[in-house]
Amino acid sequence: MPPLSELFPTVYGRGLIPELKSFVHRPYLVVTMDDLWPLFRDAFDDGVAGPLFVRTLERDELDRIVAELPACGSVVGLGGGQALDVAKYVAWARRLPLFQVPTALSVNAAWGHRAAVRVGGIVRYVAWAIPEAVYIDFDVIRGAPADLNRSGVGDILCYHTGHWDWRMARDRGRVEARWPYDERLVAEAEVALGRVVDHADEIRGVTDAGLRALGESLRWGGAAFHNAGWNPRHIEGAEHFVFYNLEYLTGKPFIHGQAVCLGVILMSALQENRAEWIRSVIDRIGVPWRPEQMGVTGGQVEQALRTLPAYVERAGLWYTVASDRPVTEEFIARMRAWLGY
Ligand SMILES: [Zn+2]
Shared domain for 186 and 71, answered yes or no, is: no
For residue 23, how far is its CA from the centre of ligand 1 (angstroms)? 31
Tens of pLDDT along 7-58? 999 999 999 999 999 999 999 999 999 999 999 999 999 999 989 999 999 9
Sign of CA dihedral 321, 325, 329, 335: negative
Shared domain for 133 and 205, answered yes or no, is: no
**Structurally, how many domains does the chain consist of?**
2
Residue 151: predicted pLDDT: 97
In whole angstroms, what is the distance from residue 335 CA to residue 200 CA? 25
Residue 156: predicted pLDDT: 98
Shared domain for 199 and 59, answered yes or no, is: no
> Percent of the chain scored above 90 by pLDDT?
95
Residue 3: predicted pLDDT: 56
For residue 154, how far is its CA from the centre of ligand 1 (angstroms)? 7
Shared domain for 194 and 304, answered yes or no, is: yes
Residue 1: predicted pLDDT: 43
**For the whole model, what pTM was predicted?**
0.92
Q: Decide if 2 is inside a domain.
A: no
In whole angstroms, what is the distance from residue 157 CA to residue 198 CA? 12
Residue 103: predicted pLDDT: 97
Name residues whose C-beta falls within 8 Å of residue 260's C-beta, 6 or more positions apart in sequence.
154, 155, 157, 158, 239, 240, 243
Three-state SS for 117? Answer: strand
For residue 155, how far is its CA from the centre of ligand 1 (angstroms)? 5
Last residue of one domain, picked from the residues 144, 166, 192: 144
* Confidence tier at 2 by pLDDT (50, 70, 90): very low
Residue 121: predicted pLDDT: 81
Last residue of one domain, picked from the residues 129, 144, 159: 144
Strand order in the sheet with 74-79: 10-13, 133-137, 98-102, 74-79, 28-32, 48-53
Is 70 exceeded by the pLDDT of residue 326? yes
Shared domain for 140 and 177, answered yes or no, is: no
Q: Which domain holds residue 184?
A: 147-339
Residue 210: predicted pLDDT: 98
- Pairing type for strands 122-126 and 115-119 reads antiparallel
Q: What is the mean pLDDT of residues 220-231?
A: 95
Q: Decide if 1 is inside a domain.
A: no
For residue 150, how far is its CA from the centre of ligand 1 (angstroms)? 14
For residue 45, how far is its CA from the centre of ligand 1 (angstroms)? 34
CATH code, domain with 230: 1.20.1090.10
Shared domain for 197 and 331, answered yes or no, is: yes
Which residue type sits at 64? R
Shared domain for 70 and 109, answered yes or no, is: yes
Shared domain for 169 and 83, answered yes or no, is: no
Tens of pLDDT along 159-201? 999 999 999 999 999 999 999 999 999 999 999 999 999 999 9
Which residue type sits at 101? V
Shared domain for 157 and 190, answered yes or no, is: yes
Is there a contact between 125 and 136 (Cβ–Cβ < 8 Å)? no
For residue 114, how far is its CA from the centre of ligand 1 (angstroms)? 12
Residue 122: predicted pLDDT: 80
Tens of pLDDT along 76-122? 999 998 999 999 999 999 999 999 999 999 989 999 999 999 999 88
Last residue of one domain, picked from the residues 125, 144, 163: 144
In whole angstroms, what is the distance from residue 57 CA to residue 69 CA? 16
Shared domain for 186 and 132, answered yes or no, is: no
CATH code, domain with 97: 3.40.50.1970
Residue 341: predicted pLDDT: 87
Q: Mean pLDDT, the chain, as a whole number?
A: 96
3-state SS record for 9-28: CEEEECCCHHHHHHCCCCCE
- Pairing type for strands 74-79 and 98-102 reads parallel
Is 60 exceeded by the pLDDT of residue 4? no
Residue 148: predicted pLDDT: 95
Q: Decide if 3 is inside a domain.
A: no
Shared domain for 44 and 185, answered yes or no, is: no
